Amino acid sequence: MNWKSVAIISLSIFLGFYLLLSATVFNKPSKNDMLCKEVHITIEKNIIEGFLTAEEVKKMIDAMNLNPVGKPIEQIDTRAIEETLRSKELIESAECYKAQNGNICIKVKERIPVIRVMSNDGDDYYVDNAGNQMRKPDYVCNLIIATGNIDQTFAKNVLAPLGQLIMSDAFWRNQIVQINVLADGTVELVPRVGEHILYLGKPVDTKLKLERLRKFYIYGLNKAGWNKYSRISVEFHNQIICKKKQ
């Protein structure tokens, strides 16, 4: 064996490997030198379509001079970004972290207003999908309006679930424009199409009542005409009572 040739070949391989590392790993910038390249914003999906977009979240960060793009990774305050976003009315929670590739990742969970309460006593506020009160959002929200005898407990425990049920269903979201709460605590719905009132009675088993109404719309009103009745009641189990227009 020619040991001299073996040594030369081994040295050549080592030098080639070293040069390769020098051009890649050794020249890779340290975290202290790495700049943020991009911001990736993810908005958690909900059964109800939200109002926020990634572009709007970015505008919130820009407004507070917290946009990290172009800044050294080590100098980016992810906690400040999180706290800024959490302070916004339409954001329930926010998580911000640094990725190894120099990107900043932001995950946002949205507070979604499902109903606007305008009660007889003058209250005017929004209720979110968790039943909590919200100030009027700085966004255009095409929501159901709830009127009548409504206190805050009723809004949280009854109207919020009913609003979420309606808003999560494309058919009812497009059909119902108003919920009215009567003095005895019963509920009626005002539809967008048709000159009638939908009477639910006591706000129990509302999902089943709405399903009965849906079937009546499909198999009844489509044939009889949507303006034939002034009042359609599903107050009682397995019954639909209609009052003809005068």
Relative orientation angle of helices 206-216 and 160-167, to the nearest 10 degrees: 40
Delineate the domains of the chain, giving CATH numbers in brackets: 39-110 (3.10.20), 113-244 (3.40.50.11690)
* Most distant CA pair in the chain, distance: 113
Q: What is the pTM of this model?
A: 0.70
The whole-number pLDDT of residue 246 equals 77
Task: Report whether 94 contacts 41 (CB < 8 A).
Answer: no
The whole-number pLDDT of residue 117 equals 94
Residues with Cβ < 8 Å from 214, sequence gap 6 or more?
171, 172
Name the residue among 52, 159, 64 with its Cα closest to residue 114: 159
Relative orientation angle of helices 78-86 and 54-63, to the nearest 10 degrees: 110
Name the residue among 44, 33, 80, 35 with its Cα closest to residue 61: 80
d(CA 51, CA 139): 8
Indicate the SS3 state at residue 12. Answer: helix
Q: Which residues of the chain have pLDDT under 70?
A: 1-33, 47, 136-141
